[in-house]
Chains A and B, each alone.
Chain A
Amino acid sequence: MFGAIDISTSGLVAQRIRMNTIAMNIANADSVDSPDGGPYKRRSVIFSVGSQPNDPAEMGVHVSSIEKQDVYRMKYDPKHPYADKDGYVKLPGIDPILEKVNEMEAARAYEANITAVEVSKAMLNSALRLLA
């Protein structure tokens, strides 16, 4: 029974990491420069089964990696210090609508896991009430 709460917690953690990543993508939608050189690269989380890597029971979920994607968009702005010789600035390829949809999905999945924890708590309560 306590295992169920751990499983749901792993789901909560994974969805929160996804939410952080989405927030980072939106915050950096116009960052033309980054420590890696070039514009900010869009981050995307990869989920994998098991509450941690090499989990033998394979219960729960974890973020196995955060991938950087080489997607960009070109914006015409000849006066910009980062403009190329044709007058285009290379910006991160971030679609605000896509990020928003992902964000809503993460929030709903987080809520579903919260619901599962609440149900686990109710079940544990009723089982423990047998003692008293």
Chain B
Amino acid sequence: MFLEGLLNRGSMPVLQQVMAFTQERHEVLANNISNFDTVGYKMQDLPVEEFFESLDAAIADRDRGGASRPLRMRSTSNLHWDRVGRLHAQPVEIENNNILFHDGNNRFVEKQMSAMAKNALLHNVSAELLRGQYEMLRTALRERL
């Protein structure tokens, strides 16, 4: 379809994937913060490296097949994309995060808070870039500035 071709090319699907991932990761990070004082809780995270490797591979794969090919994310051990391209992520416990406290919790408050801030920044930048793309499309469709 024409419209689908417009919306599924260039950086748009890439930005959509980044937004989906950062939203998913934000929940995991918020969960860590709510469990800062829970006995025996281990900090969790989503595999960021794994996601970006998968994204890189998907972009390279798409570029080989011509610009009209959709972006196909390949699932990894902890990140799974279903048939409609929705992300299902399995959080992993972080080993060696920090010294283990006497209550069996391995919180690292500063690291968790900065991870959350960085993740939110990445999300907001992606959203802003995506908005710019939509604005450009809107301008083109209106045929006037």
Interface residues of A (CB under 8 A from B): 1, 3-5, 7-8, 10-11, 14-15, 18, 46-49, 59-61, 105-106, 109, 112-113, 115-116, 119-120, 122-123, 126-127, 129-130
Contacts and interface: CB of A to CB of B under 8 A. Distances in A.
B92 interface: no
A115 B113 contact: yes
B8 interface: no
B38 A61 contact: yes
7 contacts: A3-B27, A46-B39, A47-B35, A119-B26, A119-B116, A127-B19, A130-B131
A52 to B, nearest CB: 13
Contacts, number: 91
Q: 3 closest A-B pairs (Cβ-Cβ)? A: A11-B34, A126-B127, A47-B38
B39 A7 contact: no
B108 interface: no
A7 B124 CA distance: 20
B123 A123 contact: yes
Given A11-B34, A112-B36, 18 more contacts: A1-B26, A4-B26, A4-B30, A7-B31, A8-B30, A8-B34, A15-B37, A47-B38, A60-B31, A61-B34, A105-B37, A109-B36, A116-B29, A119-B116, A119-B117, A119-B120, A127-B19, A130-B131
A126 B128 contact: yes
Contacts of A105: 37
A116 B36 CA distance: 13
B40 to A, nearest CB: 8
Contacts of A113: 33-34
